[in-house]
Amino acid sequence: MRDPDLAPATSDSSPVLAVRDLAVSFRTDHGTVDALREVSFEVAPGEILAIVGESGSGKTVATRAAMRLLPPNAVVSGQIRLAGGADVLEMTDRELRSVRGATASMIFQEPSAALDPVYRVGDQICEGIRIHRAVSRSQARARAVELLEAVGIGEPAAKARAFPHQLSGGQKQRVMIAMALALEPELIIADEPTTALDVTVQAGILSLLRSLRDRAGTATVLITHNMGVVAGLADRVVVMQNGSIVETGPVNQVLLSPRHPYTRQLLQAVPSLARVEDSDQAPVREPRKDLALDVVNLNVEYRSGLGRPPLRAVRDISLRVGVGELVGLVGESGSGKSTLGLSVAGLIRPVSGSIRLLGRDMATIRGRRLDQMRREIGMVFQDPRASLNPRMTIAEGISEPMIIHRVGTKAERTARVIEMMERVQLDPGFRHRYPHELSGGQRQRVSLARALILHPKLLIADEPTSALDVSVQARILELIRDLQEQLRFGCLFISHDLAVVGELAARTLVMRSGQLVEEGPTREVLVHPQHPYTRELVAAVPVPDPVAQRRRRELAEEAGDLSLAGT
């Protein structure tokens, strides 16, 4: 194995990817926007180079330019050479097509969006093979099955005949990887390959990528914003900010002794389990006497088709949130955590059990009185772009709960909106703008202001930061903590990210397949997990420390090879 601390070996072989003075700008209706300024980097054969940076830093633009996959309004200058060949930017379309997929291939962030929904996955793998190689249909099929097996998909022959929607997220990403490997390229560009996946699935995909490099020596450019992923996989790191490279170096140096202030800022913003371990917070076992929320033996079902049994998404769950307490609810996709949040908010009616909000049972009341009780609940959703009405100004959006519940006069509403915007640290001058004119973090502040405008006793926050960059996430989490101290609402904080919950919650609940598997003070749950599933979750969280990450990986590999666990 290569020593990851070494700089790329340029003497013995030419780089797989050499980017020189790459500059990209986009022509738009409002003039030209610079996306990339004079960027240069190289990837050596067999090397894994991580490009990190926040959204808008130009990391995706740089790698798409390498395969000339930018939209037509992009103006590109500089020089890009793949595997010592001609300049990609000078190639004819035919030359370019012969390189795409064969010399360099790509893996995308969202595997369900990157696979064509109407073709069988095996055929999609074959398509790439048959574009470049003169092989028969059956030979290509056989190769596709072989590839699916190599990326750890069980029953590869059967799965090759499946359509994308019939596979899980992890399986789809494995299919994408198989497709990228089909022609044994010298370079794979992986753009946030694990961001859309659950932590345990993510660990499997990362270990697959690692083993591919070790076995086939394929060089990889890994684009990510997750420092834990970088620590676990990369040899070298390029840090980008606003279209420029601010720091380059071996992974240990960049992560452990960063030189540039922006790198340090990025690393500090990463929520970390280590900080939970070090905290001396007193363990909270039971909520205080005055309960904001008291859920007892809750069951929620979704109707399936005619003649099929309903799907029970929440099974017999009891939980309590005290006034002014923040409780974390952790689980992976499909665990039922969002369903639980929605039914507590009164948006899905449970089949049995009781939900008491401030001592009143919500499950039994209907109509106007239920609407009245909804005043006491605020809700923040994952994607502020989807949960804010694009046709409403910020002020209209934030004040809508007051209008619905007929609170205050017009002047009072405006005053309250301004006050609330100040509380969530938004410039009140923004109130006549529309959601698309704000950044992701600002939009989430608007959602928060809207949820809290009526001073509810309970806030349900469903993955409020998972669509945001790390540094923005850190600021939003701090804001939620501050607001909670000021306004004393109880908060059910739903997240798939253990580290985020670890930073925020006093007590944590872990949910799997609709059931609570573990519950307790956050520090105990995360540091000494009792249930095997919680242990698995904690072990799968990537840590932004290459040394610690390697130690954890070795422990995990002793326990059982994750790469072969068919996720």
- Residues within the interface to another protein (CB under 8 A): 67, 69, 93, 97-102, 105-106, 108-110, 113-118, 127-128, 131-132, 163, 165-166, 176, 179, 305
Of 93 and 558, CB closest to another protein: 93
Say how far apart CA 401 and CA 374 lie, in whole Å. 10
Identify the CA nearest to 424 among candidates 470, 386, 464. Answer: 464
| CB of residue 216 to another protein, shortest distance in Å | 19
Half-sphere exposure in the Cβ direction for 487 (13 Å, CA): 26
The residue type found at 561 is D
CB of 123 to another protein, least distance (A): 11
If the CB atoms of residues 31 and 305 are measured against another protein, the closer one turns out to be 305
Rounded to the nearest whole angstrom, what is the least distance from the CB of residue 391 to another protein in the complex? 20
Question: 186, 192, 246, 254: which is closest to 222 by C-alpha?
Answer: 192
Question: Which regions of 135-207 does DSSP assign to beta strands (E)?
Answer: 187-191
Half-sphere exposure of residue 360: CA atoms within 13 angstroms, side-chain side:
13
The residues with which 492 forms a beta bridge, in sequence order, are 327, 460
Cβ proximity to another protein, 99 vs 293, nearer residue = 99
**H or E segment at 407?**
none
Minimum CB separation of residue 111 from another protein in Å reads: 9
Cα→Cα distances 59→45, 259, 304, Å: 20, 20, 43
Alpha carbon 217 to its chain's center: 28
Q: How far is the CB of 90 from another protein (least distance, A)?
A: 17
Which of residues 110 and 396 has its CB atom nearest to another protein in the complex? 110
Q: Which of 74, 370 has the CB closer to another protein?
A: 74
Residue 129: φ, ψ to 5°: -65, -45
User: Which of 101/232 has CB closer to another protein?
Assistant: 101
User: Which amino acid makes up residue 158?
Assistant: A
The nearest distance, CB 128 to another protein, in angstroms, is: 4
Sheet holding 311-322, edge to edge: 311-322, 291-302, 352-357, 360-361
Specify whether the CB–CB gap between 62 and 36 falls below 8 A: yes
**Closer of 100 and 141 to another protein (Cβ):** 100
Shortest CB 101 distance to another protein, Å: 4
Residue (of 232, 113, 154) closest to 566 by Cα position: 154
Q: How far is the CB of 62 from another protein (least distance, A)?
A: 15
